[in-house]
Structure 1
């Protein structure tokens, strides 16, 4: 929480005003019992009605000022806490945006969502409580002790014993509760992860009839979280009655001893009344502090998780001085590239070297797990090579700005990702400045126009989150159109035709030839029919290049390619 306090700097004027208002409210609340003691001693006991009315009016004015101060302080505290929450969400989101895929793999999607919602909400809530309770409670407690001492020292000693017992009890409870709140945050993460997997994988779950298994997974995570919450609530349920018992016993003891002191002539009735109110103020302050001791640890756990995200630095960053001396247009060269995923025992790519030139189609084919998609991820610098160099237009991607590199690339991922919005908006992601004609042209080349025109709203047809109201082939064609409207120097199609039938696949590739004739095209695929017309086919096997050449040459010289063709011959009619 202390580390996050620096983000309150923009609100320092409001915080100073809040502190002033709380101080004013506290002074007012502490002054009221003194006035009440005066009414009893000077007004009621002596029958001075005028004094009662005058002092009562003063109490009314002080109470109004105190109330206005409390309301204003509460309003400003809420504004500051909401502003802090907004700032933290923005900073977390911006930092996460800069993460490479390695950091995403390290944290995980579910925990990043939880941290940016639930954890920041916890911090917001506790920030309000700190500014209201944790500041006013010590003021009230210290002021109450001073005022109590001014009324009667022996009674203050008895009150001190009660405060000591109360403080010890709160300390014991806090030591029990703090570890539980840390566990709760982790278990909320787990529950969110299970829920997210169940919702996103609902088709697979139903297809394999594993609903009962998923229900058990959810029940286990839910029960685990519930049991931890029950432990916390049991402690809290035990804490409040004990605190109230200590407070009530203190009140009874104060009244008992006070009555004896009044009978002995050492104290008057007004002072006892004022002392009782000061004792209640002090006890309530301790109660508020006890609540804070319970709530702050949970916020502290949330703050630690937020700090982890804010302090995480992406492993892939732009160089201090970016090299933008691009010599060619669209050339790609891999020089002895090897790559291992973080934590992997063996490299996924080993000594990969090839060159892709403008005006040519370079295809990469291989079995599942051979490293095809890894090559596609290395080009836009989603990951950095372990060894070797990747040159785009003669510039090492590590020495260039990522924005410059990615502006040159039109990337169609293996899994088509669409966003909630219209068809037009999804295609325009590739080029936000594209006009209607450019969007329609890209859709026509990607063979998406035929189904877009079938919608009632045409290009204004709404796509649901993740494109769930479209088929796999429709999503892939829109992804291809999104890359085309960008008109980049380099096109990367990462298994982007797998959901298309053979006829549509052929029509898309035929239309792409004219559109991409001056660009470098890299097609990653598993189907021979998709790559057989490429100018250069690179065959991958277990992370190594086992053959390079045209289709006819590889049929004669590359055994791995021969096996791939043989396995697909009957299915695709390849000769």
Structure 2
């Protein structure tokens, strides 16, 4: 972990540098419209075009560097978690292994660690970028027009209320989804390992009904969360369109009065769109962080298990109760990596 400590700092810094270039783009476009197009100044138009091209190239370069650092840090974090958890699982006592179950351990070393990797990657890329752009866009709007910037702050409050309100409604379901998925994995594994017993006692229909019931429960929770989450984009777009309507209405009067230029109106609409996009990204990031926190809690539950003096914990046998668990864990770890 120490070898990627510097990269974990550089990744968000490069993303903030990219954000800074992105915030300058609307100002360059406003200058091109007001000083170049309206005044038919070809020199200003070409200067603005070259400046936009330079900002795009430098922003792309900084984004690629940040993405590379973030991905490397995420992979190292996942590798560390996976290695520690695998070593801990092999040293579990028989009682702990039976309490946790093989399906639960496979889920923790596979999907849970993959969830942590994805969240670390997204955090390094967006945790500083999104607030930086939201605050920066509001400051730029305040710099262009103080009266219209009040509309930005009002829209920001409404959007934050919608985004975080929907998140608060959906967050409690994510743990249920994880548990339902774990139940499906457990049932699937039980049928695979005990297929001969199931067929010997003619229990195929019963096992199929139980599996369908667990799968149906998982589907219901997913659909319920999906219905609530589906409100996020339409409501956000409705607010942003209302905000753009208000912005164009008030700015048109200021343009007629000579208090505002047409290029400034274009810049303000761009800043408003940037705020919407970054708030949605931030909402998705927080949802990922909640899922990752649940995954970390499940992994810590295994890591905090103490040896109770059983033969397995004393080192007489490091094989878990089920001989197939080692191969299953290795396969799950490879798939998640």
Where does residue 33 of structure 1 map in the other structure? 26
Q: Runs in 1 of length 4+ with deviation above 3 angstroms? A: 411-420
Instruction: Indicate which of 312, 318, 333 corresponds to 1:382.
Output: 312
Distance 1:43 1:412, change over 3 A: closer
Where does residue 275 of structure 1 map in the other structure? 268
TM-score where L is the length of structure 1: 0.54
Are 2:20 and 1:22 aligned? no
For 1:22 and 1:59, locate their aligned partners in 2 and report how far apart those are by CA, in whole Å: 18
For 2:150 and 2:197, locate their aligned partners in 1 and report how far apart those are by CA, in whole Å: 70
Are 2:181 and 1:188 aligned? yes
The structure having more radius of gyration, on CA atoms, is 1
Contact 1:190/1:221 (8 A) holds in 2: yes
Instruction: Indicate which of 102, 108, 111 corresponds to 2:95.
Output: 102
The alignment's C-alpha RMSD in Å is 2.4
Instruction: Indicate which of 104, 109, 117 corresponds to 2:110.
Output: 117
Gaps of 5+ in 1: 1-7, 317-377, 384-401, 421-464, 466-575
Deviation at 1:104, TM superposition (A): 1.2
**Which structure is higher in RCO with an 8 Å CA cutoff and minimum separation 6?**
2
Instruction: Indicate which of 226, 234, 241 corresponds to 1:241.
Output: 234
Where does residue 86 of structure 1 map in the other structure? 79
Instruction: Indicate which of 147, 163, 168 corresponds to 1:175.
Output: 168
Distance 1:187 1:9, change over 3 A: farther
TM-score where L is the length of structure 2: 0.91
Gaps of 5+ in 2: 332-337
Contact 2:148/2:247 (8 A) holds in 1: yes
Q: How many residues align?
A: 328
- Which string of whole-angstrom CA distances, capped at 9 and with x for unpartnered residues, describes residues 52-93 of structure 1? 112221121111000111122122222221221111111111
Where does residue 66 of structure 1 map in the other structure? 59
For 1:299 and 1:229, locate their aligned partners in 2 and report how far apart those are by CA, in whole Å: 17
Deviation at 1:314, TM superposition (A): 2.4
5 Å-filtered alignment, 1:435-454, equals: none
5 Å-filtered alignment, 1:405-484, equals: 406=316
Where does residue 149 of structure 1 map in the other structure? 142
5 Å-filtered alignment, 1:159-170, equals: 159-170=152-163
Which of the two has greater helix per residue?
Answer: 2
For 1:308 and 1:382, locate their aligned partners in 2 and report how far apart those are by CA, in whole Å: 19
- Which string of whole-angstrom CA distances, capped at 9 and with x for unpartnered residues, describes residues 509-536 of structure 1? xxxxxxxxxxxxxxxxxxxxxxxxxxxx
Contact 1:26/1:139 (8 A) holds in 2: yes
Distance 1:126 1:173, change over 3 A: same
Contact 2:174/2:291 (8 A) holds in 1: yes
For 2:213 and 2:111, locate their aligned partners in 1 and report how far apart those are by CA, in whole Å: 21
For 1:301 and 1:418, locate their aligned partners in 2 and report how far apart those are by CA, in whole Å: 23
Instruction: Indicate which of 287, 290, 298 corresponds to 2:283.
Output: 290
Instruction: Indicate which of 203, 221, 238 corresponds to 1:228.
Output: 221
Contact 1:134/1:288 (8 A) holds in 2: no
Deviation at 1:111, TM superposition (A): 0.6
